[in-house]
Amino acid sequence: MYSPNFTYTHRIVKNLVDITSARDTILNAYLVPKWEVSLRRDALIKAAHASTAIEGNPLTLEEVSQLAQGRKVTATRKAQQEVLNYLKVLENIEEYQEHGKVTEKILLKLHKNVSENTLEYPEYEGRYRDVQVYVGKTSTGEVVFMPPASTKVPELTNELIEWTNSEASFKLEPVIVAGLSHYEFVRIHPFVDGNGRTARALATLILYLREFDIKKFFTLDDYYDSDRNAYYNALKSVDQKKLDLTEWLEYFTDGVLLSISKVKEQVLQLSLEKHKKEAEGQIALTGKQTKIIEHLISNGRITSSEIQNMFEVSRQAAHKEIKKLIELNIVESKGTGKATFYVIR
């Protein structure tokens, strides 16, 4: 069975802690259904644009958005089909599973759906390669690394699948499993073409199946596309003899943190706007009061002592800030005496 080699560095651990905090904020935030739909749609379009752009697709983000809405754009049939395929896969990512697990059948289906009507030789859709290929930069043609021989592909791929479904992998954080699976899949390069898109879709699928991105709000593809050289350098940084994935996981968790932090900021802003509108026509909120609301959105409650610690102020000053929010009908108190805490109304 596949056995990943990596070390938990301070950077990886810090990233994981911050990622968990951001995720909790998103899941606990106040969001009306239409906001959730909008966030999912934005993530879907950005992912489809970025993941195909990395591999040379010329469509702009606006053109991808138009395609997603069923509109026509001026582009080659192949360019449009690559985007439409990826959009459809991400829209239906929850369907790529068998009792909550990834199987060889599912993986082949994932590749077939990603590459449908885009390959020079259609018979390779959803079928392992039987030729030697290489991983390289589309822009320069530089070879990043040479994958294993095609004869080893079925065995290596099944070992990865077996590990992904193993008890050992379920003991790891979903983000780590997604990162390890992404790299190993790219290293094996099971298919003639479409490996990058399939690897990124697989990472997305793992995060969904592990109930990490249950609302499908964020995408990693945009992070990869924002600095393609960094993406390829991170892949190339792994010594092919030792296969120590520590440096790759630092890069991968950096990306997850950056992506989920962007969503967190969007979610907090949406939630904050809702409460600002409720206080419309009244005195504007101070920076401290805004931070108190953000804390409440993230954690569900706050105490006077937490406000004191947050701003390093006296109990009286903390009470003054929370009192204003109560007067604005944004916050209400619960409990009595020392057990008093505050919640969003």
- Burial of 137 (C-beta count, 10 Å sphere; 0-12/13-18/19+): middle
- Secondary structure (3-state) at 146: coil
Nearest Cα to 207, choosing from 36, 3, 30, 47?
Answer: 47
Catalytic residue among 182, 189, 275, 295: 189
> Any alpha helices (H) in the chain, and if so which ranges?
10-28, 33-53, 61-68, 77-91, 104-115, 153-164, 167-170, 174-188, 195-209, 221-226, 228-236, 246-278, 287-299, 304-311, 315-327
Residue 286 has a CB neighbour count (10 Å cut-off) of 12
Whole-angstrom distance, CA of residue 186 vs CA of residue 237:
13
Residue 123, token pair as written in the block: 């018979």
**Strand partners of residue 143:** 136
* DSSP structural state of residue 120: S
49 tagged catalytic: no
- Burial of 312 (C-beta count, 10 Å sphere; 0-12/13-18/19+): exposed
Sign, CA torsion 169/173/174/176: negative
Q: Using DSSP bridges, classify how beta strands 341-344 and 331-334 pair: parallel, antiparallel or unpaired.
A: antiparallel
Catalytic residue numbers read 189
